[in-house]
Amino acid sequence: QVQLTESGGGLVQAGDSLRLSCVVTARSFISGNMGWFRQAPGKEREFVGRIKWSSGQAWYADFVKGRFTVSRDNAKNTVFLEMNNLKPEDTATYYCAMDTASHTVDYVRPEKYEYWGRGTQVTVSS
């Protein structure tokens, strides 16, 4: 059984920063990759970034490179999404997800992730 709990969302102004957290609760050893996705109203869920639990290697969607950073604290079973220079188009519900199989192909697809949190809302005003 795996539970993911996001926090840290809120209402900010354009240019501000936010740090989202995702706490992983699991009965067994945590492995694989953790992803961050977002979904705006009326749009499909889209990949933001992911990180490998063991190495900390991270991958990003092109539209967030240089602004967002994914990191993890293995001791606290927590993954973070640091978001800088936020834009109104970043407004969405942000979700963390776990890919225990560590897919190397199509890892941007939500269906590759078995476990999901309930999401945290990020609203960026102009």
Residue reference for tokens 């269906």: 111
pLDDT at res. 1: 83
Which conformational region is residue 90 in: left (phi greater than 0), alpha (psi within -120 to 50 degrees), or beta?
alpha
Alpha carbons within 13 A on the beta-carbon side of 15:
1
Per-residue pLDDT tens, the chain, 126 aa: give them. 899 999 999 999 999 999 999 999 987 777 889 999 999 999 999 999 999 998 999 999 999 888 999 999 999 999 999 999 999 999 999 999 999 888 888 999 999 999 999 999 999 999
pLDDT at res. 24: 95
